[in-house]
Amino acid sequence: MSPTPSARSRLRRALLAWYDAHARDLPWRRTRDPYAIWIAEVMLQQTRVETVIPYWERFLAQWPDAEALAGAPLDDVLAAWSGLGYYRRARLLHQGARHVAEAHGGALPADTGALRAIPGVGAYTTGAIASQAFDLPAALVDGNVARVLARVFAIEDDPKKGKGLARAWRLAEELVDRERPGAWNNALMELGATVCVPREPRCGQCPIRAACAAKREGRTHELPVVSEKPVRPRVREIAAVLRVRGGDESARVLVRRAPHGLFAGLWEPPRVSARDRHAARAELEATLGVKVRFDEAPARQVEHVLTHRHLEIAVHQGVVDRPPTAIASNAAWDAVEVVRPRDLDRRGVSTLARKLLAARRRG
């Protein structure tokens, strides 16, 4: 059931008053610059606030507007993203900036349809930019908002997908405050992040507890409904941490993943799906065009959990007879280089790649 107009007004008044008194002072809340808000929202999608703050500040100092970001090499953008994870976000941000530079002269448009047409900008980010930068009455639903709405309105389906998500969006659209849409959206997210938290919601401190169905019915631990998570398949791989015989002992052979798919554009030690070290060596020699010799030391195991799979990687160390300079034939990689540790920060290197390199160093 939809809230009545008077119930909506009571909810808005209570939540906005609480937000005005309790909002955390976050740097992106002090700006109305749509570009700065966009960068913050993308970074915050999978990453904690405390981690994001220094990245956001550095990113804006390096590329203060969409035009500057559009002109940056992707390698530099991925390097600036190093450590934030989910690098697809950085690639899409870069594409999005190019679109904004070409289609809008570098200024983000004050229009929800035009915002939504920017590569990588989905319904959530559209709502965030439109409401916070332009005061447009656009709703948004993220994980925090979905949880709050599921509890307050007793949504009986998983609010992260399908029917439950559609219901959360409908409610968010009905509720968004016409006068202060940005503050309203932030208030809902803030409540979910600090009070209506997943495990033990602090209902005693909640400004909208009088309107909350889950609280009234004693169901705060049942809601939101959570669907069973699909089991992640385990995938075995072999990674090679290789130095060049007679070369800099600290430098390692890194390959760059091709521009599509998982880890696109990131540098890492080569890894293959071969059945054993002999097959892995043959595959690496064919692809890198050099002789590979693995050390006798046993492989180290590295585990890495991704959204849809669980990687189990045997890390072998070894040497190549000369620096590889080209990828012979491998659709997964498009460049190879021998990289010193101090040069790692100048390129996009995933957390997984750092784990593989560290596994080698401990060996």
What's the Cα-to-Cα distance from 43 to each of 39, 47, 48, 65, 318, rounded to whole Å? Answer: 6, 6, 9, 16, 37
Residue 155 C-beta: closest distance to ligand SF4, Å? 12
Burial-class residue 276 by CB neighbours within 10 Å (0-12, 13-18, 19+). exposed
**Total site size for ligand SF4, rule CB under 6 A:** 15
> Would you count residue 37 as binding ligand SF4 (CB under 6 A)?
no
Determine which residue in the list 12, 215, 271, 355 makes contact with ligand SF4, applying CB under 6 A: 215
- Residue 104 CB: number of other CB atoms within 10 A? 15
> Would you count residue 79 as binding ligand SF4 (CB under 6 A)?
no
Cβ–Cβ under 8 Å, residues 19 and 177 = no
Residue 7 C-beta: closest distance to ligand SF4, Å? 14
Binding part of the chain for ligand SF4, among 55-63, 195-203, 226-234, 265-273 by CB under 6 A, reads 195-203
> Would you count residue 148 as binding ligand SF4 (CB under 6 A)?
yes
> Would you count residue 209 as binding ligand SF4 (CB under 6 A)?
yes
Pairing label, strands 310-320, 292-294: antiparallel
Q: Which of 41, 190, 268, 283 is catalytic?
A: 41
Sign of CA dihedral 102, 121, 267, 288: negative
Give the span between the Cα atoms of 319 and 339, in whole angstroms.
14
> Would you count residue 16 as binding ligand SF4 (CB under 6 A)?
no
Binding part of the chain for ligand SF4, among 46-54, 108-116, 213-221, 311-319 by CB under 6 A, reads 213-221
> Would you count residue 196 as binding ligand SF4 (CB under 6 A)?
yes
Backbone angles phi, psi at 51, to 5 degrees: -70, -40
> Would you count residue 244 as binding ligand SF4 (CB under 6 A)?
no
> Would you count residue 36 as binding ligand SF4 (CB under 6 A)?
no
> Would you count residue 203 as binding ligand SF4 (CB under 6 A)?
yes
Give the span between the Cα atoms of 342 and 269, in whole angstroms.
16
- Bridge partners (DSSP) of residue 337 are 254
Residue 195 C-beta: closest distance to ligand SF4, Å? 5
Residue 6 C-beta: closest distance to ligand SF4, Å? 19
Instruction: Give the DSSP letter string of 256-296.
Output: EE-SSSTTTT-EE--EE--SSHHHHHHHHHHHHSS-EEE-S
Contacts of 28 (CB under 8 A, 6+ apart): 36, 37, 40, 41, 56
Determine which residue in the list 212, 239, 253, 332 makes contact with ligand SF4, applying CB under 6 A: 212
Residue 26 C-beta: closest distance to ligand SF4, Å? 21
Give the span between the Cα atoms of 289 and 111, in whole angstroms.
52
Cβ–Cβ under 8 Å, residues 354 and 268 = no
> Would you count residue 206 as binding ligand SF4 (CB under 6 A)?
yes
> Would you count residue 214 as binding ligand SF4 (CB under 6 A)?
yes
Has 102 been annotated as catalytic?
no
Binding site for ligand SF4 (CB under 6 A): 148, 151-152, 195-196, 201-203, 206, 208-209, 212, 214-215, 220
| Residues noted as catalytic | 41
